[in-house]
Structure 1
Amino acid sequence: MTEPAPSRADRLNAALSRAFAPTVLDIQDDSARHAGHAGAQPGGETHYSVLLVSAAFQGVSRVARSRAVHSAISAEFGTAEQGGLHALALTLRTPAEHAAETGK
C-alpha cells in the first residue's frame, strides 16, 4: 500500500526547514479564500502565506530574503495547468525582529 503524496504545505515545510532552520515556521493555505480567482484550482494548494523566522536572515535585505525563499521552494512553482504554486505571501524575520514585532 502506497502512502499518499505529501501536501504542498508539507513540502514547503520540509524545504524551508532544511534551508533556513527556522525558529518559527507557520504555513497557511489561503487557497479557499481565492476560489474563482486567477490561478486558483479546484483542489486548492495554490495560495499560501508563510511566516518564517530564522537567524539566517540576519544582515540580509528583504529582497535577498525573498529571493532565497523562492530559490528554496522553486520546485513548487509552475503554471496553473500544472498545479503550480500561484501566490505566496511572505513574512520573513530574524528572531530579534520577530520578538520586537510580537513581544515573544
Structure 2
Amino acid sequence: MTTIADQMHQTLADRLTPSHLEVLDESAAHAGHEGANGTGFGTHFRVRIASPFFTGRTRVAQHRLVYDALQEFIDQGVHALAIEVL
C-alpha cells in the first residue's frame, strides 16, 4: 500500500522532474490541531524540492507550481503544505 506521501512524491516527480525531492508526512506532530482529521489520512506535509521548472521564477511562482501539482491531494483533505525550494 502506498502512502499519501508516496503518491504526492510520484505526482511531483512526474510533473516537475525534480533534481531533489523529499515529501515528509508531519501529520503525527499535529494531532489534535486544526485540520488534523484523525482518519489516518495525512493532513500535514513538508515538501523539499529542486526543479528545473523553477529557474527564473519567483518564489511565489515556484510554490504555485507545487500547489497546482498537488491540488488533488488538497481537495482530498491535505490541510497544510510547507514548501522548501532548494
TM-score, with length taken from structure 2: 0.90
Counterpart amino acid of residue 25 in structure 1: L
For residues 14-39 of structure 1, the C-alpha deviation after alignment (integer angstroms, 9 at most, x for no partner) is 11001111111011110011000000
CA RMSD of aligned residues (A): 1.3
Unaligned 5+ segments in structure 2 are none
Counterpart amino acid of residue 58 in structure 1: T
For residues 73-98 of structure 1, the C-alpha deviation after alignment (integer angstroms, 9 at most, x for no partner) is 110013xxxx51000000113xxxxx
Aligned residue for 1:85?
A: 78
Q: Displacement of 1:7 after TM fit?
A: 1.6
Counterpart amino acid of residue 85 in structure 2: L
Higher relative contact order (CA 8 A, sep 6+): 2
2: distance between equivalents of 1:54 and 1:85?
22
The correspondence of residues 13-92 of structure 1 with structure 2, limited to 5 A, is 13-42=9-38, 43-78=40-75, 84-92=77-85
Larger Rg: 1
2: distance between equivalents of 1:15 and 1:39?
23
CA gap of 1:32–1:44, structure 2 versus 1, over 3 A, is farther
Counterpart amino acid of residue 21 in structure 2: L
TM-score, with length taken from structure 1: 0.76
2: distance between equivalents of 1:58 and 1:92?
11
Report how many residues are paired.
85
List 4+ stretches of structure 1 deviating above 6 A: none
Identity across the alignment (%)? 38
Q: Displacement of 1:11 after TM fit?
A: 1.2
Q: CA contact under 8 A between 2:36 and 2:43: conserved in structure 1? A: yes
